Amino acid sequence: MGKKAKVARRKKGKLNKNIAILSVVAIMVAIITISALYQSEQQPASKEAAAEYFEFSGALAEAVAEDEINSSIFIKQIWFNVTAVKGDATEVFIFPLQGMVERIDAPQYQKIIQGETKLANVMYNKAVQSKKEDGYPVKFDVTSHEAEGQVTIYITEFFPPLFPFGY
């Protein structure tokens, strides 16, 4: 075999190798582009604000006043009503942002039908202090398939605990 044939075969081999590399790169770029377009289409719709989707009312607490004028209270337990006002709500989770509550002990509901009211109860592992404003504010993180966000629930009435705080 002559020198020209060897050089031609080497050039042809290099050309085939370059074409193969470019083909692999082009396929990878196509896959990445298609994947990015598919993921952007799969982005979930933004959820509504929990404070607008739900109504929280009738908050009552088992608490101890800090002083005679009730300027601040220490909350042991809270009860309140939660109503789905903008539509049905599924997998509703109401997590206290204060008082060291285990996730499993936070109020959870599979479904709340629009207009339906559920009674929520939270027992704190550590007393929560709340200073008087338009009631005594307590913060929660609320999530569902339809809504999410932080809400402030105002305690309007409280009563002393039957047993002294153990914490």
* Contact (CB, 8 A) for 122 and 107: yes
For residue 74, the model assigns a pLDDT of 94
Which pLDDT score, from 0 to 100, does residue 5 have? 52
pLDDT at residue 149, as a whole number: 96
The confidence score (pLDDT) of residue 154 equals 96
**pLDDT for the residue 112:** 97
Counting as low any pLDDT under 50, the low residues of the chain are: 7, 167
Question: Residue 1: what pLDDT?
Answer: 54
Whole-model pTM over 0.85: no
Q: What is the pLDDT of residue 46?
A: 85
pLDDT at 9: 54
15-63 per-position pLDDT tens digit: 677 787 888 888 888 888 887 777 755 556 688 999 999 999 999 999 9
- pLDDT on residue 71: 92
